[in-house]
Structure 1
């Protein structure tokens, strides 16, 4: 898989968050309310000290009880409101991040998806963004309130008794020595866990999407073992993460208990000799707990922060990738001519096409014939501009297609593959796929359905055009899916029509319907055909023979049969012609 991860830092993390256009008033409002709640909690030990040292039953009155209850209720409401505000911020951030990553995926070139499993990309959209959301919504507010709690408690403690406070600081260097190395180790483990999660997600998604292939070839055992290997890897890294957490919590707990014992021992001596009151010692211990709790949360924050840095690196790596290259010219194209001029192309370092030159004109049918793997389908991919050519030019109406706006250019091209791609949803949604509602009417849909002979089976369906087709069209037959693909092409009304073995895998009845639909669809357009059946190419205006990425012959069927030995041999082998 192509590496798309960047080394993340706090600066890049904050830069990523800023890109989500976070609502600052809402964020700082939530933090402010959190601080109010924290400051309120700092008053409790002082009130406790005053209560213990100066206890007097005459002071207890109904108004005082009501006031205390009111303060607690107000604090609870403040906590609820601040939680909601910060949760809204977190949800907004993750929504915007997912939108950014999803939009980026839609604009990346096909070459990225050739190298990356779809499940791994899904993991970036779902899992990595959730990690960042968790940090912002839960752990960041705890960090802020914890810092305020610690700073406030330390200041009050110094004012109360500076000698006893110094004992508490014994825990600080010990905690740092424990947290930092474990945090760095946690960062590495978390990164590996996220990578393994992405890989596992991609693997199981691939298996489930081809469940029929798996069952027809009795591959359950193979997939079971492969899945369990992935699950064991997740378990292994999950346990490594658990070990670090298991070490972190008791160590921090032991350090804190050690400090508490020292404070109680030294404080007890002070109380005994009369230099400290019991209320002050109790208040001191309460403030100590207010310091201890955030310290343990800091360890968790550090862990989650390192996870978020890993997620940030992967998200930034995707967002910084180069979009599919598009030209800027939105010219009104007639699509009268399509020309390849000495085009060479390959995948990676392997050449697939070498110096291919041909021209197709409007109202012409041009066929490409040759052995499997010779580069015929690659020609169609280059016309769609899924990839950029290595050398040479592809021109429409004399204009290099790399200078044209991609969406505008592709709007004039229709493509029907050997197996038409079907998305989950209704038949109507598949036929109108990719078109704005303003681009067609209900009459246009009905015409496309009729012209593609899709009406023949739609009328038999209870829901008609609103019938759900299932994932990848599993509820439809191959012929039905193919006719929907042709209906989609009819509705698009393309100027250039590309047919990639569009009838190769169909039964005779489906081929009859689809053949008639294609004949009507091809009328008045520039038609490019890749075919394995003689009937679809004999009447072509031009036939180009592609062999090992090179154009070795051109002409009509009769002339090639006379002059091109390889074509004649190929025709006899493929089509059974004598």
Structure 2
């Protein structure tokens, strides 16, 4: 086990320095901080020497003004250099962590969907906030002080050897003892810190999940259940905090005891040497002051190594994100002719769990026509859409636009051709205007936006809102109804003007009145485009140019409604059941209206 530790530590160091270098730190500023810190250290080394002269001069009753002035000058120089270096270092640290967070943010936006399938959003948020904060702490608080502490220790030891080498050697016996204490405790702090960061990420993930679905929690009276889960996380954090506190509680008094023991020995031994005339009183005072110049930096070094262990754990997780495979945005080939058929050639797909969702799907989606995909839940319809959007890569087979595989096109260019309207129709927090224009990189005129809203049958209800197009929709569009959300999403797709349209059960969650309005808006959107529709309600797709039946990831039928109704058992069964239900619902509505009339 011990034989494996050095390479791991070496790799951690390499990752840490490489991560810092990749953030493009302000090198000149850091150099200035280092110079000022060296000036500060130099001034602090001069002060005890002047103090020695001052004590020796006072003992012979002759006060030297120049010594006092030099001592005051050294104090001023130390204070000014310390203040400037602290501000500059804080600026450099904030700049580094800002660049690091920017890199992480850009990386997160380029990560493929499978990454987000495997990692909870709260954990990723923790990496962006908590872990980068730990890395910033070591830069701002400890990094420069690490170098200046070493210089201070070395400088003090050299001067102490000059003053009295025998007392210096007595003092240096504490150095190996100090390292014997720090190193094993540092390893424990690393393990605890790593576990603490994991637990914090898990707790952040739970918070993110519960707060985003707070209505679900309350409607199912799940407060106590979620409260227990949160309490468990908080207890784990508490235990990790206690474990860290125990080590700190052990480390601090041990270091204090060791340093106090050295101080007592030095004062006792120094008193004897002053009494014998081997050392002057001023030299003893200087020796004690230089001893503090060693003790304080040693404490800072201990804190540095403790923080470094924490930073190593944080670095490991940040580097894992930064080195994760991202979506391919390098390919430059643009889509030139989107008005071509889409071919699915022997397409198969399995998720990372290993479950195969699609099996050897071969299909032609004609250009400019409507293709509907129907089938039982879990048959792979939405997965098919995800593959078309290039959220995932096929396990085997390929998807082609004409004769060209779609993965040879630039990802941005390909997705520009697509317009996606889903059952949920997610909206971003912001105004209706922001959501309609979302993702459009050009300047959108008011007339364009209003036209898109009118074609989506959204303009009228938007004008009735308190602030019209500037009305806030709330987090995830909670302040507007389901039908209104759908029509805003359709307006967004119309403004995007896609060549290939994908509708994923876009009306399944709506009441009959809203469905009629949304269906009219969808008809406007579908006109003249290659359209793929996923629908559970067959009544919405019976007029499709082509209907594809998908069962357990396999295509079992392709044709028009009439052809499939005549030849496909599952389709006939689904159609018969749904049309009977639709007829029953219609009769119920008529009956209710008749009752109202009679009354």
**Which TM class, normalised by the smaller chain length?**
over 0.9
Give the distance between the partners of 2:540 and 2:147, measured in 1 at CA: 71
Task: Report if the CA contact (8 A) 1:30-1:85 is conserved.
Answer: yes
Q: Does 1:385 align with 2:352?
A: no
Say if 2:34 is the partner of 1:31.
yes
- Give SS of 1:54's match: helix
- 1:152-301 equivalences in 2 (<5 Å): 152-301=155-304
Deviations 1:118-141 (A, max 9, x none): 011111111111111111111112
Q: CA deviation at 1:69?
A: 4.7
**2:425 — aligned with what?**
420
Q: Deviation at 1:208?
A: 0.6
Q: Does 1:431 align with 2:469?
A: no
C-alpha contact 1:354 1:549 (8 A) present in aligned 2:
yes
Matched residue SS, 1:95: helix
Structure 2 vs 1, CA of residues 111 and 206 (structure 1 numbering), >3 Å: closer, same or farther?
same
Q: Could you say what secondary structure the match of 2:117 adopts?
A: helix
Q: CA deviation at 1:58?
A: 6.3
Counterpart CA distance in 1 for 2:321 and 2:179 is 34
* Residues 283-305 of structure 1, C-alpha deviations (whole Å, 9 max, x = no match): 11111011001111111111111
Of 23-32 and 63-72, the range deviating more from structure 2: 63-72
Q: 1:312 aligns with which of 309, 312, 315?
A: 315
Aligned-partner Cα distance in 1 for 2:149–2:269: 26
Deviations 1:104-163 (A, max 9, x none): 111111011111100111111111111111111111122122111111111110111101
How far does the alpha carbon of each residue in 1:326-358 deviate from its partner, in whole angstroms, 9 at most, with x for none?
544213122321111111112122111111122
- C-alpha distance in 1 between matches for 2:102 and 2:243: 32
Name the structure 2 match of 1:370.
375
Compared with structure 1, are the counterparts of its residues 119 and 488 closer, same or farther at alpha carbon in structure 2 (3 Å cutoff)? same
TM-score normalised per structure 1: 0.96
Residue aligned with 2:510, SS: coil
Provide the residue aligned with 1:551 in structure 2: 555
Matches within 5 A, 1:317-336: 317-325=320-328, 327-336=331-340
Asked if the contact 2:43–2:77 (Cα under 8 Å) also holds between the matched residues in 1, the reply is: no
Distance 2:118 2:421 in 1: 24
SS in 1 for 2:398: strand
Q: C-alpha distance in 1, partners of 2:32/2:148? A: 13
Q: Does 1:565 align with 2:569?
A: yes
Q: SS of the counterpart of 1:469? A: coil
Q: In structure 2, the residue corresponding to 1:450 is in which secondary structure?
A: helix
- Listed as ranges, the matches of 1:436-515 within 5 Å are 436-438=441-443, 440-515=444-519
SS of residue paired to 1:9: helix
CA distance in 1: counterparts of 2:235 and 2:251, whole angstroms: 24
- 1:437 match: secondary structure: coil
The Cα shift of 1:473 comes to 1.1
Provide Cα deviations, 1:187-220, integer angstroms capped at 9, x if missing partner: 1111111111111111111111000000000000
* Cα distance in 2, alignment partners of residues 280 and 270 from structure 1: 11
SS in 2 for 1:551: strand
Offset at 1:65? 6.5
Superposed displacement of residue 64, structure 1: 7.5
CA-atom RMSD in angstroms: 1.7
Residue by residue over 1:236-275, the C-alpha shift from the partner in whole angstroms, topping out at 9 and shown as x without a partner, is 1111111111111100111111111110111111111222
- 1:123 and 2:112 are equivalent in the alignment: no
Are 1:84 and 2:107 counterparts?
Answer: no
* Structure 1 residue 518 displacement after superposition: 0.6
Is the 1:418–1:502 contact (alpha carbons within 8 Å) kept by the matching residues of 2? yes
**Larger relative contact order (CA 8 Å, sep ≥ 6):** 1
Kept in 2: contact 1:337–1:398 (CA 8 A): no
Distance in structure 1 (CA, Å) of the matches to 2:335 and 2:463: 41
Residue 529 (structure 2) aligns with: 525
Matches of 1:443 and 1:357 in 2, distance apart? 43
**1:10 maps to 2:39:** no
Give distance in 2, aligned partners of 1:66 and 1:165.
29
Q: TM-score, normalised by structure 2?
A: 0.92
8 Å CA contact retained: 2:339, 2:368: no
In the TM superposition, residue 500 of structure 1 has moved relative to its aligned partner by 0.6
CA distance in 1, matches of 2:75, 2:513: 78
What's the secondary structure of 1:123's corresponding residue?
helix
